[in-house]
Structure 1
Amino acid sequence: MITLENAHLALTVEPVFGARVTSLTDMATGRQWLVPGDPADGEAYLGEQARGWDECFPTVGVCTHAAWGGPMRDHGELWGRPWTVTRGADACTAVYVDPRFIFTRSLQLEGTSVIARYQVTNSSPDPLPYLWSQHALLATTPSDRIAVHGVADIWADGHPVDWPHHPIRDLSSIGATDEGFALKLYGQAQHAASAAILGPEGGIRFDWSGAEIPAFGLWLDYGGWPADAPVHQLALEPTTAPADDLATAEATGSARHLPPGDSDRWSVRITLLPPGPVPA
C-alpha cells in the first residue's frame, strides 16, 4: 500500500491490484469517500469486485473487438492487475505496461484536491482503438445530493433525460439500499464540466475539460445491481466516450484511435468540499 497525505486529505493506492485507490479520506471530517472492501479477483466485475477507484480501459463492459484479439475483459485490462508505482512527497505515479500500450496515471495532492493526470501510449504497430472511464465508486448518504454542471444532452436507456427529472425518481437525490434502482446515464461534457456530491457531511467534486474528456457517465445503484447480491454505490465518471463498451463506442463514432507510437493525455481534478447546505 502507498499512502499520500496532507492536512486536508489522504488516499491509499494498492499497486498489486490495478493501482486501485482503496481510500480517499477527508481529514477535516473523517469521511471516507470510496466504497470500502477487500480486493476480489475475477474476470467479471460484479458486486464483490466493485470497490474503490479503478481505471476502465480500453472498455467498460464486455464486448468483442478484432483489434484487441476478440473478447474483451469486463471493465478493461487494468483493474486487478499489478502496476509499478513510484511515489514522492505528495504524489505517486502508477504505470501499467502491456505489449500493446503503456498506461500511466499520476496522482498529486494540492490542498483539498487530488489531480489525476493520465497518459496512454500506443506501443503496437497498429492503431489502437479505446475508451477510458474513471471508475471511482462513492459511498454516499441519504442526505447527499448530486449536482451536475457543464454537461448537456443527458440520456439513459436511449431516451433523453431532463436532469434531474426521471419518470421513476428525482435523480439528484440519493436512494436507499433497498430501493432496487439502478441506472446508467451519459451526457456530453462542455468546455468546463463538473459533477459533485454535496451534503451536510461534506462534498466531493470532479472537474475536467470537455476538450480533453468529452463525455460524462453517471452510475446510480441503490440496491438494483447485481441481481443476486445488490449493493449501494454511485460513480461520477468522466469518460472519453458515452458508451458502455468499446464496440458501441466504435459504432457511434465516439471511440478514440491512437496511432502507433503516439500518446494521448488528459486530467481530472477531484476536490473535497466542506459541509454545507443541501441544494434544493
Structure 2
Amino acid sequence: MWPADDPAWGPRSLTVETDPGLGGRWTSLRSAAGDRGPEREWLWSNPDPEVAAARVAAGPGAAFVDVGGVEECFPTVRGEPDHGAAWSRPWTAAEGGHRVRAGALGLARRMRADASLTVDYAVTGPPGTPFVHAVHALLDLSPAARLHVPEARTAHVLDHPVDGAVAVLPWPAGPGGTPLDLLGPDDGTAVAAVLPGCSSAAVVDGPDALVLRWRVTAGDPAATCSLLLWRNLGGWPEARPYRSIGVEPMVGTTATLDGSGPGLPATTGPDGRLRWQLTITAWRRT
C-alpha cells in the first residue's frame, strides 16, 4: 500500500518547527486540518518533565536524552558520542538554514515546507571521511500503525541475540519471528534494526499516512541510503519503559563507525562533500 498511488488518499500540507539552539531538534511536524479531518501532530514527545529538563541541560558529550521529536544523529548513531555530536550542540544560522560542527565534519540543513517538507543536508570535511547521519524521527503512532518499506529485503537487527551482536534476518521478520512492520500493541519488546539499501518508507496509521523518501544528491557515488527502525513497545528503558517508535532515514548502512557487524558508513566524496535530501509528505484517506 502506497498512499501516493491510491486515489483513496489525498495529500495534506505539512508544517515544521525546530529549535536550532537545542541541537537543531524538530519539535513539531503537523499535517494540516481540512475537509479530510483534523490537524495531526506526527512527532512523539516524552511526557516525563524530568526528561524534558534533562534534554535542555544536556551539553556536548552528554548521554543521549530521549525526549522525542526529531534529533539529528551525526556523525554516528551508536558509540561515542552517544547518538552523535550534533544533537547536543547549538546550531548557527547559515545560507538560508542552519549548520553545526562535529569534529572535522560540518553538517548544514535547509528546510522548505509547503505541500510537502523538503530537507536538504550537506556534509563537509576531509575527502573520504566516514560518517553516519540518521534523522532520528520518533513518531506518535497507535498500536494499529504499520510500516511499509518496499525496498526492504533484510533487517540487520542490532544487539541480537546478545548485546553487540548483529543478526541478519529476512524483512519483516524480527527476533522470534516477530513482524517488525507491525507497530503495536505494546508487548514489552524493544528492537533496533538497520534496513540497508532503502530510500523510501510509509507509515499508515488509521486514516493518516506519512511518506518519507530520501536520496544522495551529490558526493560519494557509492553512498548508500538505509532506514533505521527503533521499535520500542514498552521494552526500554528497563527501569521505566515506555512506547516510542523511531522511523529514521539515514545515509550509511550501519549505525556505528567502529566496523562491528555488517554494513558500512557513508563517506565524504572526493571534493570533501556529500549532499542528501529528505522529502516528507502527509496523506489522509477519504
User: Shorter-normalised TM-score: what interval?
Assistant: 0.7 to 0.9
How far the C-alpha of 1:205 sits from its partner, in A, is: 1.3
Q: Distance in 2 between matches of 1:99 and 1:213?
A: 23
Partner residue in 1 for 2:274: 264
Letter paired with 1:34 = L
Contact preservation (8 Å) 2:16, 2:113: no
Q: Distance in 1 between matches of 2:193 and 2:105?
A: 29
> In structure 2, do the counterparts of structure 1 residues 159 and 259 end up closer, same or farther at CA, with 3 Å as the change threshold?
closer
Partner residue in 2 for 1:4: none
How far the C-alpha of 1:171 sits from its partner, in A, is: 2.0
1:174 aligns with 2:193: no
Partner residue in 2 for 1:225: 236
Partner residue in 2 for 1:58: 75
> In structure 2, do the counterparts of structure 1 residues 144 and 252 end up closer, same or farther at CA, with 3 Å as the change threshold?
closer
Please report the TM-score for the alignment, with normalisation by the length of structure 2. 0.77
Q: Distance in 1 between matches of 2:177 and 2:102?
A: 43
Letter paired with 1:232 = R
> In structure 2, do the counterparts of structure 1 residues 209 and 99 end up closer, same or farther at CA, with 3 Å as the change threshold?
closer
Partner residue in 2 for 1:96: 100
Contact preservation (8 Å) 2:45, 2:67: no
Contact preservation (8 Å) 1:215, 1:241: yes
1:234 aligns with 2:245: yes
Letter paired with 2:69 = G
Letter paired with 2:149 = V
Q: Distance in 1 between matches of 2:28 and 2:234?
A: 22
Question: How do 1:111-150 and structure 2 match up within 5 A?
Answer: 111=115, 113-122=116-125, 128-150=129-151
How far the C-alpha of 1:181 sits from its partner, in A, is: 0.7
Q: CA RMSD in A?
A: 2.6
Partner residue in 1 for 2:5: none
Q: Distance in 2 between matches of 1:235 and 1:138?
A: 6
Cα offsets for 1:3-23 (capped at 9, x unmatched): xxxx82221111110110011
Please report the TM-score for the alignment, with normalisation by the length of structure 1. 0.78
Partner residue in 2 for 1:77: 85
Extract unaligned runs of 5+ from structure 2.
1-11, 47-51, 161-165
1:109 aligns with 2:126: no
Question: How do 1:191-210 and structure 2 match up within 5 A?
Answer: 193-209=199-215
Q: Distance in 1 between matches of 2:215 and 2:20?
A: 28
Give the SS at the match of 2:253.
coil
Q: Distance in 2 between matches of 1:256 and 1:171?
A: 25
The share of aligned pairs that are identical, in percent, is 27
Give the SS at the match of 2:153.
strand
More helix by share: 2
Partner residue in 1 for 2:63: 44
Q: Distance in 1 between matches of 2:204 and 2:128?
A: 41
How far the C-alpha of 1:99 sits from its partner, in A, is: 5.9
Cα offsets for 1:180-218 (capped at 9, x unmatched): 11111222225xx31111022411111123775422211
Give the SS at the match of 1:161.
strand
Letter paired with 2:156 = W
Contact preservation (8 Å) 2:253, 2:263: no
Give the SS at the match of 1:16.
helix
Contact preservation (8 Å) 2:15, 2:117: no
